[in-house]
Every structure is written in C-alpha cells, then in structure tokens.
Amino acid sequence: MVPTEATLGVPIFPGAQFIASYDAGRGQRYYIFGSPAAFVDLVAYYRTVLKQKGELVYEVPATHEFDVGKYREETMAFPPGVTIKDFQSDISQGYPNPKPGGQPARFPTVIQIVPVTER
C-alpha cells in the first residue's frame, strides 16, 4: 500500500515515487521514496514545509535529516523524521528504480520517512 501524507504525518515531495517500506522494529515502519529532483532542491523544500533548518549529518554522500516528532527511546526504534540522501556521485548514477522499465531508471535523491506516531 502506498502511504499518504496523512498516514505519514509529513509532506511527500511532489513527484516523489514510493519505492518500499521496511519494518523498523518496535511497531514502526520507515518508507523510502525516490525523487528525480536534486538533493539541494529537496532540502530546500523540506526546510520550507517543515519550518526548520534540519541538519547535514554527512557530507559524502550528502545526507540531511529533519526531526519531525518526539523520540521515545523506550517505545521507538527510530526517531520520527525525514532523511534526504544524495545518491548521485562520481561512482553512482543514482538509486536504481526497482520497477521494471520505471522512469527515471535511477533516482538521484532518496527520501526516507519515519512517520510521526503517538506512541
């Protein structure tokens, strides 16, 4: 099932394609989206819609995180948040689109969303 902004509790970048969701443990899931947009464009978008600066946690590959909810260590595996990762580099053409024949063939940028939960 493709998640919605309502079920995730955060906006999904326009044009982003749902790739997969994974069990994060402790009843949480995280959701992966691919985007044809550039890393800097996604970071700018989420800075605006989430009204926060976020944090560049890695320079190579560029990875930017935004916290979007309260982390409860006793009940959560991961803090609620949005993570943007740049998958294009000298050694990578991007994250492969898992859908056969899907466009684009590779996503330059990937979004990971850990939903806001009331746990």
Separation of CA 7 from chain center: 14
Q: Is the dihedral of CA 40, 46, 97, 91 positive or negative?
A: positive
Are 34 and 110 within 8 A, CB to CB? yes
One-letter amino acid at 57 equals V
Query: How would residue 91 be classed by pLDDT, with cut points 50, 70 and 90?
Result: confident
More confident of the two residues 117 and 13: 13
39-42: Cβ within 8 A, 24+ apart: 39/64, 39/84, 39/85, 39/86, 39/88, 39/108, 39/109, 42/13, 42/84, 42/109, 42/111
Mean pLDDT of the chain: 93
One-letter amino acid at 55 equals E
Query: How would residue 90 be classed by pLDDT, with cut points 50, 70 and 90?
Result: confident
Rounded to an integer, the average pLDDT of 8-24 is 95
Give 27-81 pLDDT, tens digit per residue: 899 999 999 999 999 999 999 999 999 999 999 999 999 999 888 888 888 999 9
Query: How would residue 118 be classed by pLDDT, with cut points 50, 70 and 90?
Result: low
